[in-house]
Amino acid sequence: MEPVNVSIIYYSATGTVHALAQAAAEGAEKAGARVRLRKVAELAPPEAISSNPAWSQHIQDTADIAEVSPDDLAWADAVLFGTPTRFGTISSQVKAFIDTTGPLWFAGKLADKVYSAFSASNTAHGGQESTILALSNVFYHWGGVIVPPGYTDPVQFKTGNPYGTSHVAGDGAPSEVTLQAARYQAQRVVDTAAALKIGRAAS
């Protein structure tokens, strides 16, 4: 069977969600997938970015990562989306990309894929779950197969978010345990997408 194609599509201003996305890419690759790691285009004005040195630095550090295009959705068997919490919901940058997908959706090209999501917030109860669930609303409209991590691996009992990997950015960079949860989430997505691919090929 052809390997599973996985797109990992994320937005990150100061690097937290980027670190989770990279770990997810590692997990997907280890699970045998072909992986596209794609950042969502920045929309913030230069003066907002330059007011935060960590934001400016992160843009420089990730200059070599390709920006997402609709083809990254069309190509994929499975998609992981990552976004920071913005007032309890997804970032405008991720939403702007999602709002370019009407033609693919209308052509039925977003249905039947596996989708999963991860997030970060500054505080422990600052909206990680509501942000992941907000992304899931989109997956429902697309006719996706949503694959959350649940508590299906011991690492989930350490990080404790069955909706998707998440991190409290106010505590510093993601720990190895959190990165492992992101790898595990991606592996579960790949395994599920592979099972669907095999089943569909056989039917």
Ligand X SMILES: Cc1cc2nc3c(=O)[nH]c(=O)nc-3n(C[C@H](O)[C@H](O)[C@H](O)COP(=O)(O)O)c2cc1C
Q: Which residues bind ligand X (CB under 6 A)?
A: 12-18, 84-88, 120-123, 126-127, 169
| CB of 44 vs ligand X, minimal distance in Å | 9
Please report how close the Cβ of residue 139 comes to ligand X at its closest, in angstroms.
Answer: 20
Nearer to ligand X, 13 or 28 (CB): 13
Nearest residue relative to ligand X (C-beta): 126
CA 18 centroid distance within chain: 9
Of residues 73, 105, 91, 99, the one with CA closest to residue 7? 73
Find the shortest distance in angstroms from Cβ 109 to ligand X. Answer: 28
Side chain identity at residue 88, one-letter code: G
Q: Report whether 178 contacts 20 (CB < 8 A).
A: yes
Q: State the minimum distance, in angstroms, from the CB of residue 107 to ligand X.
A: 32
Q: State which residue, 68 or 120, has the beta carbon closest to ligand X.
A: 120
Shortest Å, Cβ 7 to ligand X: 18
Cβ nearer to ligand X, comparing 51 with 152? 51
Q: Of 179, 127, 131, 188, which is closest to residue 158 (Cα–Cα)?
A: 179
Q: Is 106 helix (H, G, I), strand (E, B) or coil?
A: helix
Task: Give rounded-to-5 percent helix, strand, coil for the chain.
Answer: 50, 15, 35
When the beta carbons of 127 and 144 are compared against ligand X, the nearer one is: 127
Identify which of residues 52 and 152 has a Cβ nearer to ligand X in the complex.
52
* Separation CA 111–CA 144 (nearest Å): 5
